[in-house]
Amino acid sequence: MDIRSPISPDLLPELFQRWFSARGWSPRAHQLDLLAKAQDNRSALLIAPTGAGKTLAGFLPTLVELGAPRTKPSPKITSTGRGVTRSGGLHTLYISPLKALAVDIARNLERPIADMKLPVRVETRTGDTPVSRRQRQRKYPPDILLTTPEQLALLLSSDDAPYLFSSLKRIVLDELHALVTSKRGDLFALGLARLWRLAPQATTVGLSATVAEPDDLRRYLMPQASGAQNMADLVIADAGAAPIVEMLDTKERLPWAGHMAGHALGEIYDLIKANKTSLMFVNTRAQAEMLFQDLWRINDDGLAIALHHGSLDVAQRRKVEDAMAAGRLRGVVCTSSLDLGIDWGDIDLVINVGAPKGASRLMQRIGRANHRLDEPSRAVMVPANRFEVLECRAAIDAVAENAQDTPPQRTGSLDVLAQHVLGCACGEPFSADALYEEVRSAAPYADLPRGDFDDVIDFVATGGYALKTYERFARIRQDKNGRWRVANPKVRQSYRLNVGTIVEEPMLKVKLVRGRSKGTGSTGAIARGGRMLGQIEEYFIEGLVPGDTFVFGGEVVRYEALMEDEVYVSRSNDANAKVPSYMGGKFPLSTYLAERVRLLLADQRAWKGLPDQVREWLSFQVAFSRVPGPRELVVETFPRADKHYLVCYPFEGRLAHQTLGMLLTRRLERARARPLGFVANEYALAVWSLGDMSSMIRNGRLDLDALFDADMLGDDLEAWLAESALMKRTFRTCALISGLIPRRFTGEEKSRRQVLFSTDLVYDVLRKHQPDHVLLRAARADAATGLLDIRRLSDMLGRIKGRIVYKELDRVSPLAVPVMLEIGREAVYGEASDELLAEAAEELVKEAMHGQD
Amino acid sequence: MQAAQATDRVPSVTVAGITFAADLAGALFWEDERLLIVSDLHLEKGSSFAQRGVLLPPFDTAATLARLAAVIARHDPRTVIALGDSFHDRTAHERLSPDDWAALSALQVRRDWIWISGNHDPALPRDLGGVVADEVAIGPIVFRHEPTGAEGEIAGHLHPKARVSTRGRAVERRCFASDGMRAVMPSFGAYTGGLSIRDVAFAAIFQTLAFTAHVMGDRRVHAIAASRCY
């Protein structure tokens, strides 16, 4: 028995004590703590590492309550006007961000329920649940319902929501740290606010990995009231044994750039051989594809190594998951599709290939190794280039200190609120005043101004336009008591089809067919049909011409043709794909880790912990130019071939650097430096030009302080946003989530291309005619943190003000080499379309002139 | 022959021996006749969607007319041909706001205006200002809404667009499609999407891929071989 947590007979009934003992377990302290919180009717946040029995802790109070002899027969019956009688009513609602997790948990709960013969009915409700069972669930709810935020939103928008949820006692939120960082978290917070009104007696339990600011999550779990900070109680489980994290001490030469870690392939393979089951995390689908393919090329022992990422066909993913659970695999190459806590059995080593990006992200990945708490998890970091060595070192230090860098609490977004308001109008009619109060009880919306709320109502009703021409087309209308409800049943139907905040990039199906011997992409002559390999982003395919090769599904394929929403590819004999799709990393380097990397660089004594090759590289930089100090920005200029380069090292992540690159090239254009392009990586930005920037700076014609002044976030930013493809993508997401443009239509199924209305056209028109429209405001708020990362850029410009250190060089510096190598490898950013079109036009001229010879 | 156009300072589209200036806004201008041609304005497309519950911003008509006013100011045409689908649906003209009516009427002052009927607006009322016709012939050129592939034909209807890809980057824009004997105009309306010139609909008109896409870039029109586009 666990000495620190003697079982209190008051807390845990004998039946449960016997069940624990029979399995050779004893209840953990945090499990009993949560039980005590439940008996005191307190909401609580449990922070526990993977493998700490988090799920059981979350459900134990419910099982104990439902297992106890009922003191009263059944709760009162709420009339629905349908004359339905019911059993006990819904007791506990469990919400998980992953459908698969809900199903997994349901399976795990069956065991204690069956063992102890508890009179408890558990059911799941996901997108896959058949209609008949969903209808039954609404009439005869189970005791415990496991579902997703989207399904909850649907249930809440139905007329019988009050009936269904009035008996609710407990709400359990799994993987809360992952949920709250996204718009899904906003949607769920609004649903939670609704549940608190329907079931004021219900308490909430949040289950989370370790986070930087537990108070954010504690507030999320409680209804907020103006002026007060209501927080759920905090229960922290024992952290378990500290993980053992090492950096791969490679015998090979460390690459200057790239994210594939090809140099360490043999060493990674040796690690797989030396362990039972290894999980290899990479940051992008493209990296996963490449690593998987490379490993099989050297897999002389025929080890069972599999691939798992979100774009693969579902059937194929399930196959990998099952093989994993059965212990048949030696290694799995995966992306964040395996970040969250589904239990895949015994993993004894996590190999993180490439940059860790964030300390908390790394810790969660490491937690996937070894689900037994008392043994340390083991992980090996494999940096793919020299900068990543610094990042890995900083991350390992952060893990040792258990320093977290999860993002701060979001401010609830307005597009999600619009979707929620429409959902509310689908149920019982609401008064704007009451809904405003309810919405503000959700933590992300606690500070929502009334003006914004009213704009959202106006948007949902008639589009929120300055021109009031759509009154007769209103989607929601006020009744004579001033309460809002949907104008007609079609609106309700459309809401149901479009609920949710996950906006996928437009995807195309990839099918494998037999290739043509030659051909230049005329459609036709391709056998339709073919084996489904998975899905790929439309924008990636749009950049290809037939004949281009790329890696997909673990092999090099040749792009043959595009027909409607299907991409036809054939097997290719090329060893190397022609078109790389290194998306440097889906997640930007966290601010915290960037800070640590800067500190590490600035402190020469700390270089002792770095590999010789890296130390040598940095020493050359010291001798030749300068290594950036902790708060300063080093800017270098130098000539190379017939161009002039400016390289700076902000360490703020690719996204912020790309935005900086767009704005700098605009300013350099105005200064007549004739910039040609730029390329960004996680650490640095390189801009090249025809004009001699070195001499311009020397002669005072280019002022670096002015160039990097924060005022670039004013007019320059506005002008760029007008045409930025990234901003248009951001707007598209808001337009779809808010319900301005439906993603799915009622009635007969039409092909996506026929019905989709281009949100780019809407963006252009709206921006010109009503720049303060609520959707543009929502998109700008997203741009601050999303694809454009403007807030981070703004913080950086503040940090370096007056701290720019300039070095005029006669050639490239050692520190600049990695970003210079990205040129030509990364798609060069720049939205100058005319150059690309002119290039194609030149070909026509050449072709015609050649024909006249 | 078409190669020369790419290097011309003023981009142009030639049909049956007549050279038209290709305006970046998506209009053709016949200098000798002082004739301006625009196609597929789709006025009131926004409110047409709104009727069906998709509340697109109601500014598209004003945006389209403002662009049209700018093109007209650039060329000061004696005659304007709107090549069909000027209105998005049969009752669209009834939804025009008083301001938009005024803007449209102002454009018609001191010039002839010809509304060609299209499949979206087959029965145009007579009180729109100007004249209504199914098709118009001027010299060797015939103007009609739906292309038939006839020689000397300038039509609209298909909303041609072209995508050019290089090294993993792509640009997709509206374009004129022409093989020297016939042309298809891009759509002019603020809310009009496009159809790839590699669609079978274009094969029916041009027979082969030996036609040119005059693609509208940010600052100029680029003549690109259709076989180079997707």
Q: What is the pTM of this model?
A: 0.86
Q: What is the pLDDT of residues A703-760, one digit of tens each?
A: 999 999 999 998 888 888 877 777 888 899 999 999 998 887 765 444 444 445 788 8
Residue A285 located in a structural domain:
yes
Q: Report whether pLDDT(A547) > 60.
A: yes
> Do A745 and A695 sit in the same domain of this protein?
no
Residues of A whose CB is below 8 A from B169:
543, 827-828, 836
Residues of A whose CB is below 8 A from B220:
834
* pLDDT at residue A658, rounded to an integer: 85
B207 contact A CB<8A? no
B58/A542 touch (CB, cutoff 8 Å), yes or no: no
> Do A794 and A685 sit in the same domain of this protein?
yes
Domain boundary among A525, A540, A571: A571
Q: Which of A180, A198, A223 is nearest to A437 (CA)?
A: A223
B98 contact A CB<8A? no
Q: What is the pLDDT of residues A560-611, one digit of tens each?
A: 887 777 888 888 877 666 554 544 445 678 888 999 999 999 999 999 989 9
**Cα–Cα distance measured from residue A95 to residue B138, given in angstroms and rounded to the nearest whole number:** 69
Residue A19 located in a structural domain:
yes
**Cα–Cα distance measured from residue A291 to residue A268, given in angstroms and rounded to the nearest whole number:** 10
Q: End-to-end alpha-carbon separation of chain A, Å? A: 94
> Do A641 and A674 sit in the same domain of this protein?
yes
> Do A48 and A82 sit in the same domain of this protein?
yes
> Do A422 and A535 sit in the same domain of this protein?
no
> Do A828 and A698 sit in the same domain of this protein?
yes
Residue of higher predicted confidence among A717 and A69 = A717
Q: What letters, b where the CB count within 10 A reaches 16 and e where it falls short, cover A173-209?
A: bbbbbbbbebbbbbbbbbbbbbbbebbeebbbbbbbb
> Do A263 and A378 sit in the same domain of this protein?
yes
Kindly give, in sequence order, each residue whose CB lies less than 8 Å from that of residue B48, ignoring residues fewer than 6 positions away: B88, B89, B92
- Identify the closest residue of chain A to B220 by CA–CA distance: A834
- Tally of CB atoms within 10 A around A608: 7
> Do A743 and A719 sit in the same domain of this protein?
no
Residue A349 located in a structural domain:
yes
Residue A719 located in a structural domain:
yes
**% of chain A at pLDDT higher than 70:** 87
> Do A625 and A720 sit in the same domain of this protein?
yes
Residue A619 located in a structural domain:
yes
Q: Are A549 and A520 in contact (CB under 8 A)?
A: no
B169 contact A CB<8A? yes
**Cα–Cα distance measured from residue A720 to residue A787, given in angstroms and rounded to the nearest whole number:** 14
Q: Are A171 and A192 in contact (CB under 8 A)?
A: yes
Nearest-neighbour CA in chain A from B88: distance (Å): 14
* pLDDT at residue A86, rounded to an integer: 46
> Do A491 and A514 sit in the same domain of this protein?
no
Residue A6 located in a structural domain:
no
Which one of A465, A521, A740 has the shortest CB-CB distance to B58? A465
Q: What is the mean pLDDT of chain A?
A: 85
What value does the mean pLDDT take over residues A520-538? 62
Residue A333, phi-psi category: left (phi > 0), alpha (psi -120 to 50), beta (remainder):
beta
> Do A546 and A565 sit in the same domain of this protein?
yes
Q: End-to-end alpha-carbon separation of chain B, Å? A: 23
Residue A261 located in a structural domain:
yes
Q: Are A358 and A331 in contact (CB under 8 A)?
A: no
Q: Which of B123, B127, B223, B138 is nearest to B173 (CA)?
A: B223
Please give the CATH architecture assigned to the domain spanning B2-228: 4-Layer Sandwich (3.60)
Residue A763 located in a structural domain:
yes
A827/B54 touch (CB, cutoff 8 Å), yes or no: no
What value does the mean pLDDT take over residues A639-645? 90
* pLDDT at residue A833, rounded to an integer: 64
Residue of higher predicted confidence among A804 and A212 = A804
> Do A730 and A662 sit in the same domain of this protein?
no
Q: What is the pLDDT of residues A253-297, one digit of tens each?
A: 888 877 778 889 999 999 999 999 999 998 887 788 889 988 999
How many separate domains does chain A show? 5
> What phi and psi, each to the nearest 5 degrees, are found at residue A678?
-150, 165
Positions of chain B with pLDDT lower than 70, given as ranges: 1-9, 167-169
What CATH code is carried by the domain that includes residue A257?
Answer: 3.40.50.300
Residue of higher predicted confidence among A744 and A15 = A15
Show the domain range for A326.
244-400
Query: Angle at the Cα of B40 (from B35 to B44), degrees rounded to 5?
Result: 120
Nearest-neighbour CA in chain B from A462: distance (Å): 7
